[in-house]
Every structure is written in C-alpha cells, then in structure tokens.
Amino acid sequence: MTSAAVRSAPPTVQLSVLLWLGAIGAGAAEALLHLLFPEPPTAGQLAARFGLYAVLAALVLALRTGRNAVRWTVAVLLGGFGTLSLVIEPISWLLAGGSPGLFIVTADALAFAAAGLRIAHIVAVISAMALMFGAAANAWFRGR
C-alpha cells in the first residue's frame, strides 16, 4: 500500500482506523492485566488472543485501501462479534443478579482497571463504527 492510498482516505476513515487500533490495544492491555488476577490466562490462551489481535490489526490497516469488503468484514468481525464478546460477560453477570453498586463499593484496583479498559474498548468500537459508516466514509468507499 502506498502512502498516497493512506493520504487519500478521508479524515473520518483515518480516525476510524486509529480508534480500531486503540480498541485492539485496550483488549491487549486487558488481557495482560488479567495476568495479575487470581486465575490468569494460560500462555496458550494469551498466544491465541495476541495472534487474533495481530490478524485483526492487519485487517483494520487494510481499511485504508478503500475496499468496501474490508470495511464490512471489520464491521461484522470487530463491530459485531467483537462487541458481543465484550458485553456478554457483564450482561450475564447482571442477569445473574450482579449489582453495579456493590461492584463499585467492593472492587479492587485491578477490577476497576479491567472495567475501565473494557469501557474504553467498547467506546472505541462504537466510535470507529460510526466514523467508518459516516457520509464521508461512505462516499470514499463507494468511489474506490
């Protein structure tokens, strides 16, 4: 990919790419933070997760080519399945009777850090999706 292809992407697409990469970074940071939890992920689990993050980062960077198929792949994989994977645990916890107020009162610094990273991750995904399908992005992807 040439630098001209990158420059030709509208600012909304460029910002979307940065937000997607930020979301992936938040996921990686949360995975590493879980190493400090009582039941940390195994080396194999971390390797699989970081392998997936590498593939997703390459896919996100491919957005700058302007291929609409890449945009829809990112939307479905990261915006759809990725978001579902981020919210299913907290929703399940709430449905099982979890109390946000009790969490706030009893959580330690690690739990707050993990929750903060998860929230940042979700906000980045929603923002990236909105930018990736905004008017300027739609016109650019159509014209490519």
Residues of the chain with pLDDT under 50: 1-3, 5-6
- pTM, two decimal places: 0.90
Percent of the chain scored above 90 by pLDDT?
Answer: 93
Q: What is the pLDDT of residue 19?
A: 98
Percent of the chain scored above 70 by pLDDT?
Answer: 95
Buried b (16+ CB within 10 A) or exposed e, 62-99: bbbbbeeebbeebeeebbeebbeebeeebeeeeeeeee
Q: What is the pLDDT of residue 66?
A: 95
Per domain, the residue ranges of the chain are: 3-143
Cα–Cα dist 113/26, whole Å: 11
Instruction: Give which of 54, 57, 67 is closest to 22, Cα–Cα.
Output: 57
Q: What is the pLDDT of residue 7?
A: 55
Instruction: Give which of 21, 19, 45, 18 is closest to 31, Cα–Cα.
Output: 45
